[in-house]
Structure 1
């Protein structure tokens, strides 16, 4: 869901500039930040064996190139009062992805939105207070979007956040 820049007045998206190639140090920095997004520049520099200035410049370049899209907290949704989680699939009217995406982005319950291939078009991960709130989300909010043709809800019984375990880059 990278934000698209609009060309001057044309309404046409401007493609993101190509990211510069990553070297081993860049990949090591990404691994460290995936494990601990709050790591200090000093700590990162020490662990990848570069100066603080070099680590700072590399992290800024990774942000500028949109390799790093942001930093955030991983939330235990149940402890935060969101006891119901679900993946919801949507079938949408052809060529309406951008319109639907903008409406889905405004849903505070949505934590991930993806355009996918297969038997459905969109996959959304949502977290709600309880099943009653989940039902309201599906029946009132999602199914009222004109471009949504159908929905299917997959209730999550248990989940594990793997973001702390960085994949090999």
Structure 2
């Protein structure tokens, strides 16, 4: 896909705020026809600019999970090692997010667990078996203070 123009960036801004906004409402806000808007969204989906849609869940209300933030340091930072690690991470739905980092660790992962026992299983069965891992440092969240959604309330 070629670079995004101002209209594409505006569509993305609206979808980040509320991915359930109707196509007609998005089109009206950005000043284009609904068919043109839908076509632009489809192009961004096909190109991987829009990778998916999700719901932000208030874990305190839904009593669903504890976020665990995991810093991973690899034995080596060669392209081959990075690619192997990233391919392995993509195979596990338990790993919700993975970021390549600068600084003290190579990757930051986020997983969600119901309890410490579930994390122990993930640590033993998944994290410790990822290729090239030298060090794993995990931190359990106490509560989510700010979600990425600008209208979320805590």
Instruction: Please list every run of 5 or more consecutive structure 1 residues that lacks an aligned counterpart in the other structure.
Output: 1-18
After superposition, the C-alpha distances for 1:71-122 in whole angstroms (9 at most, x for unaligned) are 222233452522x221111111323122222222233321101121222111
> Structure 1's 153 and 133: CA in aligned 2 closer, same or farther, altered over 3 A?
same
- Superposed CA RMSD in Å reads 2.2
SS in 1 for 2:126: helix
Q: 1:36 aligns with which of 18, 30, 51?
A: 18
Q: Which residue of 1 aligns with 2:8?
A: 26
Judge which range, 144-153 or 70-79, deviates more: 70-79
Q: Which residue of 2 aligns with 1:57?
A: 39
In 2, the alpha carbon distance for the partners of 1:146 and 1:52 equals 46
1:1-169 aligned within 5 A: 19-78=1-60, 79=62, 81-82=64-65, 84-94=66-76, 95=78, 96-165=81-150
TM-score with structure 1 setting the length: 0.74
Moved segments of 4+, more than 4 Å: none
SS in 2 for 1:85: strand
Please state which structure has a larger fraction of its residues in helix.
2
SS in 2 for 1:42: helix
C-alpha deviation, 1:129, in angstroms: 1.0
The count of aligned residue pairs is: 147
C-alpha deviation, 1:30, in angstroms: 1.2
In 1, the alpha carbon distance for the partners of 2:63 and 2:93 equals 14
TM-score with structure 2 setting the length: 0.81
In 1, the alpha carbon distance for the partners of 2:100 and 2:3 equals 26
> Structure 1's 98 and 77: CA in aligned 2 closer, same or farther, altered over 3 A?
farther
CA contact (8 A) 2:89 2:130 kept: no
